[in-house]
Structure 1
């Protein structure tokens, strides 16, 4: 697997699984009926933010994607954030872990002091376990912060990792 900067042409491969994941309504706080144009503008970020894709080196298939960006502005611009989507057809192959490691490396190289995930759905246990294994901790949970389509109201975790870097 190779992780590289996303180019405009990658969207055609990302959109089908992006749409599937968002429409399921189980893991993202995006509207379930998010249209393609709005989704593209939200995901395909411009510098200094960044969007990448994980690609199968043999077939060229896009396996997953991540976007990374400052989480806040002004006096809190030293905190990074990121979002991830893995094509469900390629789940369990280490794509999410590889993207997570890549994003953490990017944030450190860019000088961010920490990374914060604002809304990790509590019932998304695979993601919560992955982020914990990569050094994140849950610093708070908003009870009943997310309306899951089958589980009802579940919590939204705020997850954090200090990166030990200085950024002016």
Structure 2
């Protein structure tokens, strides 16, 4: 089945939250409070500076990501993204399709690079995927993430030039 990526619509919001909220609550991949209310999750994911996209297969939402400038001012030429794949779609190429689309869209918008600020080192699938897409670990943040099962683990800063 083919993954289609498109901008989010208001009609997608609940389906996006159904995917994103459990990931945040699990607390294993995002440096956010695990006890965020659904409104707080929505406020974060759909904040005005996030350009939100969804991945679909046969009209079923399989993932979502946001694209934004990593920093303002002199750092505004570097993009940043956050990705979440539906639990039943993991391992099926959805995250790869979303990241490939994000890199093309970021390039189209004039971003010169993409940076992920806090990739949890124990998120093996994400680390392998980002590396396979040309991202490099440019920094290790020792014990920067308090994993709910594993305790304090490293996080990576990952970077890739787009232009």
The two structures share one fold, judged by TM-score above 0.5: yes
Q: Cα deviations across residues 93-120 of structure 1 (Å, max 9, x unaligned)?
A: 1000000000000111111111110000
Give the match's secondary structure for 1:21.
helix
Give the match's secondary structure for 1:40.
helix
Give the match's secondary structure for 1:89.
helix
What is the number of equivalent residue pairs in this alignment? 161
| Structure 1 contact 45–51 (Cα < 8 Å) conserved | no
**TM-score for both structures, normalised by structure 1:** 0.92
Does 2:4 correspond to 1:2?
Answer: yes
Aligned twin of 1:97: 96
Aligned twin of 1:56: 57
**TM-score for both structures, normalised by structure 2:** 0.95
Q: Which runs of 5+ in 1 are unaligned?
A: none
Q: Which runs of 4+ in 1 moved over 4 A?
A: none
Measure, in 2, the Cα distance between the counterparts of 1:22 and 1:127: 16
CA shift at 1:17, angstroms? Answer: 2.1
Give the match's secondary structure for 1:9.
helix
